[in-house]
Structure 1
Amino acid sequence: MTTAALDAAQAALAAEHAAVYGYGVVGGRVGQDRRGEATAAHAAHRARRDALARTVRDLGGEPAASAAAYALPFAVPDAAAAVRLAARLEDRVAGVYSDLVRAAEGPLRREAAGALREAAVRAVRWRGGGVAFPGLAERA
């Protein structure tokens, strides 16, 4: 694997750390009707985070540690803001996985593509609609 793949895996790991933190906020603010969805997403991001830590080690790197806290992109005082935050988290995760798809090859590329797809599907569910090119929307 290349240095680009390791760098992209580290970036994906950092995004997963932030998503795990962010879903802690989402879960605390989202309405009861969507709490199960938030819990499932939180678990999915924890699993991806743990897998990426192993991937970074396999690529010869030292996995980036999680920060104690993360700055949220906006205040999350209520359920509507929590839903917007969840969609934003998924968009960011999709973006870093699109970078990993470009940088990796073989099984890691397939895994990154699967993670990108999962994040895009969760973003659609949270947002209520999709974007033409998941993982590239924030680059426009």
Structure 2
Amino acid sequence: MADGTEGGAPASGATTPAGRETAALQDALAATRAAIWGYGVVGAAWPAEDRAVVAAAEEAHRDVRDTLLALLDARGVDPAPSAGGYTLPFPVLSPVDAAALAVTLEEGTSRSWTWVLDQAAEQATRELAVRELTAAELRAVTWRTAAGRTPVTSALPGL
């Protein structure tokens, strides 16, 4: 997941294609919620005059969260509850640390969208996964650049 834990294992009982797809969507929801929480930390360490990029990334994840909640609701599935908080993978004490955390968040959501893509039974779900995987990688490029990481792109995001 976005907080550094490994996602991707289907929930027990998710043995049908639709069940596996729903389990993967739940995983993407959890990763998205972790990213929303994490961007609060990123924003706190990011220079105030440049926080628009942080706000835009957080808003993008909020929009995805809302899309996933609506999708699960339409399937008659209760979304897994949100975590109350998350463990940071490292201390965030500077803007470079904040950018590195944002990379971690985007790579976590990329992993979850790759899992959705792998488990997708419906065309619309595959399209959503590709769209969100692409968006996460584009945001990650911005953050890798800010963190001074090279290469700034990933040939196979989420893997």
Q: TM-score range by the shorter chain?
A: over 0.9
Larger helix proportion, structure 1 or 2? 1
Amino acid at match of 1:29: A
Shift of 1:21: 0.1
CA distance in 2, matches of 1:56, 1:28: 32
2:138 is aligned, of 106, 121, 125, to 121
> Aligned AA for 1:109?
R
Distance in 1 separating the partners of 2:119 and 2:42: 31
Deviation, 1:33, is 5.2
Comparing 28-37 with 96-105, greater Cα deviation is found at 28-37
Which residue identity does 1:37 align to in structure 2? V
Q: Normalized against structure 1, the TM-score is what?
A: 0.92
Query: What is the CA distance between 1:31 and its match in structure 2?
Result: 2.1
What are the Cα deviations for residues 33-71 of structure 1, in whole angstroms up to 9, with x where unaligned?
541111000000011011111112223321112111111
TM (norm. structure 2) is 0.81
Is 1:8 aligned to 2:24, yes or no?
yes
Q: How many residues align?
A: 136
Cα root mean square deviation, aligned: 1.2
Quote the Cα distance in structure 2 between the aligned partners of 1:34 and 1:102. 36
1:97 aligns with one of 108, 113, 119: 113
Counterpart of 1:18 in structure 2 is: 34
| Structure 2 unmatched runs, 5+ | 1-16, 146-151
**Whole-angstrom distance in 2 between the partners of 1:126 and 1:92:** 14
Pairs within 5 Å for 1:61-76: 61-76=77-92
Larger radius of gyration: 2
In the alignment, residue 28 of structure 2 is paired with which amino acid? A
Percent sequence identity is 39
